[in-house]
Every structure is written in C-alpha cells, then in structure tokens.
Structure 1
C-alpha cells in the first residue's frame, strides 16, 4: 500500500506539475534555534496540501494569527510581523490535520555572509589565537546557519542544514570572519544575531551569480575561468544551491569577502559583482546593505598587475552600487605569501564597526580607509590629497613606503613624502612632466601610510598630472 501511494503521488506530480511534499513542511532555514529579523515583516514559507488553509502562530505575538492558503503547486508563503529583539519563542504552522512547530526562535539581526576561502576560513583551518578564541566561543546569542558546500544546475528550494548556537564546537567549523562579526554586533547591540554562512574557497563570483546574467552579458560571458577539481566554476551553480534556498528570508544585510579568484579577469569585476548584488537584492526584495573586504596584499605571481586592478575595481563599485561600503585590511596582513590573513577577529570586527555605524547609527570603532581625492602640481611639489573620515596622516616607518612616481620619460622612482593634514607633498626634483603617482598599486606591497584613526590608506594611482 505504501509503495502504491508513492506511485500515485509521483504520477500526480508528473501530470499536474505539483511540487509534492508530505503535508506541512518548512525549509531547513526555519528550524530550532533560528533567528528572525526583529521589527520587520518576515516571509515564512514552505509546502503543504494544495488549497489547504494554514494558520501561523508566533510566540512573540500570541494574539495574532496569520492565515495563508497553499497554492495549486503545493507551496505557501505568508508575512509574519515580528517585534523587538527577544526570545526564545516558538513559531507554529497549523493545518487541518497536521502542524509544524519551531522552537528556540530568537528575534534579532540576521546577516548573510558569503564569498570564497577567506570568508569560509574557520578556526579549524588556522586563525590567530585560534584555540583561545575557540574556548571563548560559548555565545548563545549568536546563531549560525552554515550552508554545506554543494552546487546545483537549477535553483533549489532547500539546503539541508540546521541552525546551531555558537559553541566552541560550532564556532571552530564555521566562518571565523562571520562569527567575529556576529559576536561584535551582539555585544554592542545587546540583541541576538544570526548569520547565514554560504561560502566556498576558491570560487569566482560567477558561481554566486545567476547563470543567465553571466551568459547573456557580452563582456562577462567571454571571461575565461580556470578549471580546478576542488571548487566549481560554472556560472550560477552556488547561487542555485547556497543562495536561492534562502530567498526571501529577511536579512539586515550582507558581508562579502571574495575577489582573489577573479583577479585574472579584473577589468570586469565591478560589472560582475554589481550585477550579482542587483540579482540578490531583487530576490530578497530590497536594497540591503552590501559590505565587503578589499583583497589583501599577496604574492600571486600574476601577469599585468591584475591584483592591483582587481582592488581598483572593488573601489569603483562604491560609486556604482548604492548602499555599499568596503574595508581595507592591508594593515592586518602578517605574511604576503599567505593568501589567507589569519587575524580573522580583527577583520570581522572591522566589518562589524562598519555595520554598527552605517546600519545601526552607533560609531564603535574606526573602519574607513582614505581614498584619493585629487593630485596636482604646486610649485615644485606634487600634492596628493586624500578624502575620508580622518584628520591627519602619518607613516609607520621613518620614510613613507609604497609610494612611486612615473614621469613623462617613463622613469619610475620610489619617493618619500611630507605629510600635512590630508595631503602628501612629493618633491619633483629630477622628474619631468607629466607625472603619475602610485601607492601600493601592485600585488603585494604593504604601505606605511595610516590615518590618525589607525586605518590604512587605500591603494591608488592618479591620472597623468600636467603642469599648469
């Protein structure tokens, strides 16, 4: 009889295109220990028997019942209002003959955390002060939804994992950057924080972008990606399995740490990630904050200075995509031969300081690096002025390092500079116009310029500067 029932259900699915599920079901992102975005209307969805009316009851608002009807495809979705942070609560979905209850539900802040290996990197892989950090990782107000590394050729509806409370055991196997980001937020906001971790080392941004966007773009479709046995390179495959099943879970924003695997196609990186962000925002239903890490100095051995061009593209995104911001971590690199900076706590907390300021309106620490504003010739000096939230510059070494000038004859000279407020004054003795100034514009140089807030200066190159 059991086999006959399964056969009939299968035939119905083929005949009517119904997505058959056994009575009421919820995707795994709705599971015990979850965090829902506070003070919002959150989407709750799943599967059930077509045409059945369902009731959704929330422990934080017991007097309010939300009703929805399962559609002809066996799917349902409803909007459930949440209140201010708190918990634990329950969330229950009831039908005529079935129900599903989720326990230990917290209301707080939810962030998507994605990228390649530097986002995936866990304490198990080796981080600064790793064992000490693991021992201190009992943090019940941080909840982790760690997506398994899987790809799919078509968009999927579930990702088969569960929420976990931050413990030494769960912390050591998830993204260290994401964990430290969440821990900083919960310590300063005094609310639960949930992180949706979808990261896979070595992956180019194409795999996180819907395939049709890449394949239909006249520039992106021509990019060549190196094939490796350890990670996928086919456009869309990780979007399908590691992002799409989370849609439209309500999030406060996204942190992104990726770019190293795209440096060989650097000129189109801003275009690619801009389109990826646009697609994700369309899926999640709003222009959520998208904050990211500029790739760190590393000895790639690359041709045509592509890592520097990639960093330049990452900075260009700031002016192309609204509600974005970037941190620089060159000051946190201990070994340029290691593509994985190990001070993940400082990286996660710098991202958290950014979110605290931009999203939550609380300045808790410096995070912003100065950018190039203008460069001009004044008398016999090049004056390069930076912009940003700082007052003065200083050098961590006696002479400024990382600074070069190329003159009109093609002569390249390593130069020092006098520092005055936000301006670098570079003497022009022995150099002929026009001039170009470069700061850390190569693959691995760590410059010595810092602000009075302790932040490193973004790498830059100027246009050719003529004498007026």
Structure 2
C-alpha cells in the first residue's frame, strides 16, 4: 500500500502546484493600482483553464481564459483612489491573495544613476537631509515603491524582479530619492496613494533602453557589445530587454525620466533617439500618449572641464526633445540645484527640488491644477541694438529676480569669442538686457552654456532660467 501511495501523493502535489497561479513580482502585496481605469493583470496558470479574480472593491469576480501556453492577461476596473487597504484574490483552483493593495496614482521612473540614487546616497555622495527623510517615511504609508533589480538580457524577458515595498525606515533608505520626493510632492496635493516603479540603471545610455529592431538601424551602435561582460552599463538594449519590457503590462499614469549624462558627447543623435524611445515605450504600454517628464542633466565638469560645452549641448538636445519632438512632454531645469564643490560630482545631493519640480509639471499638465507654475523661463528671441542685446523669454510674464548681480550671461561679436556679460532687467517683465565693454557689436548670447555653470536668474516662482544659446556655432 505504501509503495502505491507515494506516487499518488507526488501526483497530487504536482497537480496542486500547477493549479496555483504564478504572478509577476510586480503584482505583489503592498502594490498600488492606477485609479479609475482598467488596470491590467497577468501571469501564468494551468493551460486552457479559467482564472478567476476577486477584488475586495468589486461584488462580481472577473474571469479570463488561460491560453494553451499557460499565459493569461485581463483587466479589472479600479475605483477612485483611497487609502483603504484592499485585497485581490487570483485563482485557477488554488487561490493567491494579495494584501494591502492601494488604489491611487502610479508613475514609472527611469533613467540612470541620478534616478537610481537611493535616499541612502552613494559612497561619498549623500542625499540632502536624508536621515530626516528616512525617519519620517513611516508617516507616509500611502507611498509605495517597486525597485526593478538590475539584470541584463539579449532578448525581451517575460518577468523582472521587483516587489512593492512600504515606506518603513528599513525600506525607504533604498527608495529612489528622486522618485520618493516626486511621490511625496504628488501626494501632498493629490491626497491619494502614490506608487513609483523605479526602473533605472546607473551609467546607462539612451540606447540601452531601446529594442534591437530599432537599434539595428543606427550605424554607430554595435549590438555585439550587449554580449560582453565588461562595462555592462554602457551596453545597448539590455536594460530594455531585462528591466523595462517586463513592466509594460503594469498600468501607469506616466513616465519620469532622468538620464543623459552617458550620452554627453553624442548630443547630435540624442534628441531624436529619446523621442524614438518615448514613442516606442508608449506603443508597448498601449495607453496612448501618456505624460513623459524629463529632468535636465545637472551641471558637472565633464572631462574635468567645467568650461567645456559638451554637457550644455546635451541639455540643449533634451530641451529640443521635450519642446519639439515628444508630445505631452516637458522638461525641468536643475541648473540652480548644485553647490560649487559639486563640480566634480555627477550626483548632486539636492533631489527634493527635482522631485518637487517634476510634481509641478504633473500637477499642472496631467492633473489640471490651477495656481501652480510648472515651466521655467526659456529663451524666446533676441534683438541686437548697438552694443547691447535684449533677450526675451517665455514663461516670464511676471519678471525675474535678482534685480542686480545677475550671473551666467555671455555675449560675442562676429569673432565668435564669448565674454562675460553684464545683465540687467529690461523695460518689459520678460526682458533681460546684456552687454560687455569687450564686445562693441554683439550678435550672440549664451546663458550658463557650459558643463558646469550654475546661474542665479529665476522667475517669480523661483524656477531657474533654462540654459540656452542664440547661436549655432
């Protein structure tokens, strides 16, 4: 009897194991589902079976058929956001129940190390006020974060590793600082739960977040680099395949992007490739032209040359992408958010103002709030008159500060040699008048157009003027 019983028990165990639904890690306890939408759910189960989903906020279950490969995907209607913990039970025989599920707003934060950088900081690179922020984290239980673990792949993967975490002091130290401050700022105004998916990799190029079918058309990209073990952070497509593609089914409100440092020196191709990336991401998420908000790369002495302009050219490409190439997009400036000693440090410590400025964009342009100013002043046009140039700006109808001691402007004549310029408030609120005794007939103006050159000119809501040049030299 015992000899016959063992195989029977083993068969029963196998059947039971097969009957338990397999979920991606992104569908876990403590997750946030996007409110008032058809939120996607997916996973594996017994081939050709029926998966039943029962949400605590719904009276009727949702059923979906599993295909013959054992894969299933469906949607569930979510209610208005609230802080009441919900449950979600998914079964094709043996139920799997997800606990402490919140309904709120979900944002996908991606890029390289300045997005990845946790509240704990990096070695020799602290986050401003981090200890206090981490200690305060349990006071914000409606903020949740899922951090996608690094791994590389040569082909698109079905799953990525990364579970949702609550903001305990132990967990919060590893949360993306930019993502966490973004969530805090959103929650302060929206007063709903906020979930952040942090999908970033330090040092990654924009090409790392694009698929092979696009990259193979770029003559300067060698796809064989992806097979190498050295310098993996520079490789093409591996982040897309292993980190981003597996997240595409998770319903989100929009994207926040903080990347560009590793493409410095390649500004000529960056804007178009970033726009191509956004178009492709939106196509695989299948949610239309959802928002895409960009963080300008910070001032940094690339090549140990603060006076160089490679970083400035990349910022210019970022601005071009946001303003002319990517619909439903915007950029925030970080020109004023560094300290002088951070010139050789690519990870400046002020991430709170970055999170806040991202939130201003979302609150105004995604959520429709009035009374908040989101956009920094940006160059509009110039007019030369003798030994002076008047520069006019968009997003500056209430004028500028400081009134005196304006820093960061340079002007040049036909010789293309730039000299520091005296800058004064113009006759109209959006005007700045620049001049230099060394330039008798100026023809071009630049503002903070160097690798590391913080300026001090801001609008009436303390948003900094975006670095620019009027020439194309």
2:310 alignment partner in structure 1:
306
Structure 1 residues 464, 376: closer, same or farther in 2, change over 3 A?
A: farther
2:4 alignment partner in structure 1:
none
Structure 1 residues 22, 443: closer, same or farther in 2, change over 3 A?
A: farther
Alpha-carbon separation, structure 2, partners of 1:255 and 1:146: 14
Q: Is the 8 A contact 1:381 1:425 kept in 2?
A: yes
Q: Which moved more, 1:104-113 or 1:358-367?
A: 358-367
Alpha-carbon separation, structure 2, partners of 1:309 and 1:221: 24
User: Offset at 1:428?
Assistant: 6.7
CA deviations on 1:346-396 (whole Å, 9 max, x unpaired) are 211221122111111124754421111011223553111111154102237
2:129 alignment partner in structure 1:
129
CA deviations on 1:124-166 (whole Å, 9 max, x unpaired) are 2221111111111112100111111111111111123311111
Q: Is the 8 A contact 1:390 1:453 kept in 2?
A: no
Structure 1 residues 332, 160: closer, same or farther in 2, change over 3 A?
A: same
1:17 alignment partner in structure 2:
none
Alignment match of 1:323 (pick from 328, 335, 345): 328
User: Offset at 1:432?
Assistant: 5.6
Matched, 1:375 2:382: yes
User: Offset at 1:430?
Assistant: 5.8
Structure 1 residues 22, 161: closer, same or farther in 2, change over 3 A?
A: farther
Matched, 1:120 2:122: no
SS of aligned partner of 1:27: coil
User: Offset at 1:200?
Assistant: 1.5
1:346 alignment partner in structure 2:
353
Alpha-carbon separation, structure 2, partners of 1:301 and 1:159: 35
User: Offset at 1:22?
Assistant: 6.3
Alignment of 1:289-300 (within 5 A): 289-300=291-302
1:15 alignment partner in structure 2:
none
User: Offset at 1:219?
Assistant: 6.0
2:162 alignment partner in structure 1:
161
Q: Is the 8 A contact 2:411 2:435 kept in 1?
A: no
TM-score (norm 1): 0.89
Q: Is the 8 A contact 2:458 2:465 kept in 1?
A: yes
SS of aligned partner of 1:132: helix
User: Offset at 1:448?
Assistant: 2.4
Alpha-carbon separation, structure 1, partners of 2:396 and 2:48: 56
Alpha-carbon separation, structure 2, partners of 1:399 and 1:186: 37
2:463 alignment partner in structure 1:
455
Q: In structure 2, list runs of 5 or more residues that go unmatched.
A: 1-6
2:255 alignment partner in structure 1:
254
Q: Is the 8 A contact 1:402 1:439 kept in 2?
A: yes
1:402 alignment partner in structure 2:
408
2:3 alignment partner in structure 1:
none
Task: Report how many residues are paired.
Answer: 450
SS of aligned partner of 2:159: coil
Q: Is the 8 A contact 1:21 1:47 kept in 2?
A: no
Matched, 1:44 2:44: no
SS of aligned partner of 1:177: helix
SS of aligned partner of 2:234: coil
Structure 1 residues 49, 337: closer, same or farther in 2, change over 3 A?
A: same
Matched, 1:31 2:28: yes
Alpha-carbon separation, structure 2, partners of 1:369 and 1:287: 23
Alignment of 1:202-241 (within 5 A): 202-218=203-219, 229=230, 231-241=232-242
Q: Is the 8 A contact 1:404 1:415 kept in 2?
A: yes
Q: Is the 8 A contact 2:449 2:468 kept in 1?
A: yes
Alpha-carbon separation, structure 1, partners of 2:416 and 2:158: 57
Q: Is the 8 A contact 1:371 1:457 kept in 2?
A: yes
CA deviations on 1:89-137 (whole Å, 9 max, x unpaired) are 1111222x32222111111000101111101111222211111111111
Alignment of 1:16-95 (within 5 A): 23-61=20-58, 63-86=59-82, 87-95=84-92
Q: Is the 8 A contact 2:45 2:70 kept in 1?
A: yes
Q: Is the 8 A contact 1:409 1:432 kept in 2?
A: no
SS of aligned partner of 1:76: strand
Q: Is the 8 A contact 2:86 2:101 kept in 1?
A: yes
